[in-house]
Amino acid sequence: MNTNFFKQVQQLDFTGNLQLTITKGAESNLIVSVLLHNEQCGDSAKNLIPPLTFNATAQEFDEGFFEQITTPVQKVSGLMVDMEKFQKQLDEAKAQSAIEKAKAEKEKKEQEAKDKKFKQAMDKVDELEKEGKFREAWIKVPDIAEYPEKADELRKRKTSLSDKFATPSLFGATEETATEPPQVAEATADCPTDTADEEENEY
């Protein structure tokens, strides 16, 4: 007996395993269930897709079985393929999200450590400024290159400190230089007077 059953199965466009279950029914009918399995599809929702079930005579199956199952099988096959693609994209998105989350956590910790270092440095600057050690405080101000986002704040702080230690010391040095020579000149002028008084006393 020559049939074209398997040729027609081969012509069906599907991905996966096509399972046919044939059971004898009442009044010489046959009950045929068609279920498509796709092991590549990782979405458990595929298990909710019901099998195609037909109840007909053998002659009716011979005449129209493949016409009845072609479109549904192709739809189910396409659905499972799409579900698998979606699942893969979802997994990739989750993995990418985990990477981004880890990256964000790392950047957050680095920023917190940087902020903590900045605060400690500025606290030291405040402490030295209160003690009147303006030059040392100026040196302790963090480098602008290390904290470019705080450049304006750091420049203003350095300027404020430099104004406090640079100007007074300059005037102080000038005053000391100006007062010392008159003392020497005064001492030198006193010496001849004392000598002249001694000579008059001798006579």
Higher pLDDT, 75 or 203: 75
What count of Cα atoms within 13 Å lies in the side-chain half-sphere of residue 88? 8
Q: What is the pLDDT of residue 87?
A: 83
CA distance 13 to 75: 10
Banded model confidence at residue 23, pLDDT cuts 50, 70, 90: very high
131-184 pLDDT, tens digit per residue, is 888 888 898 899 988 888 888 999 998 888 888 876 544 444 433 333 344 444
Quote the pLDDT of residue 166.
60
Q: How far, rounded to the nearest angstrom, does the alpha carbon of residue 190 sit from its chain's CA centroid?
A: 82
According to the 3-state scheme, what is the secondary structure of the chain? CCCCHHHHHHHCCCCCEEEEEEEECHHHEEEEEEEEECCCCCCHHHHHCCCEEEEEEHHHHHHHHHHHHHHHHHHHHHHHHHHHHHHHHHHHHHHHHHHHHHHHHHHHHHHHHHHHHHHHHHHHHHHHHHCCCHHHHHHHCCCCCCCHHHHHHHHHHHHHHHHHHHHHHHHHHHHHHHHHHHHHHHHHHHHHHHHHHHHHHHC
Share of the chain above pLDDT 70, in %: 80
Kindly tell me if the per-residue pLDDT of 30 is higher than 80: yes
Question: pLDDT at position 170, please?
Answer: 44
Cα distance from N-terminal residue to C-terminal residue, the chain = 170
Average pLDDT along the chain: 79
Note the pLDDT tens digit of each residue in 39-74: 888 878 788 888 889 999 988 888 888 888 889 888
The CA R_g of the chain, rounded to the nearest whole Å, is 49
Quote the pLDDT of residue 120: 92
105/201: higher pLDDT: 105
Round to whole Å and give the CA distance between 72 and 122.
73
> What is the per-residue pLDDT for 173?
45
Whole-number pLDDT of residue 109: 92
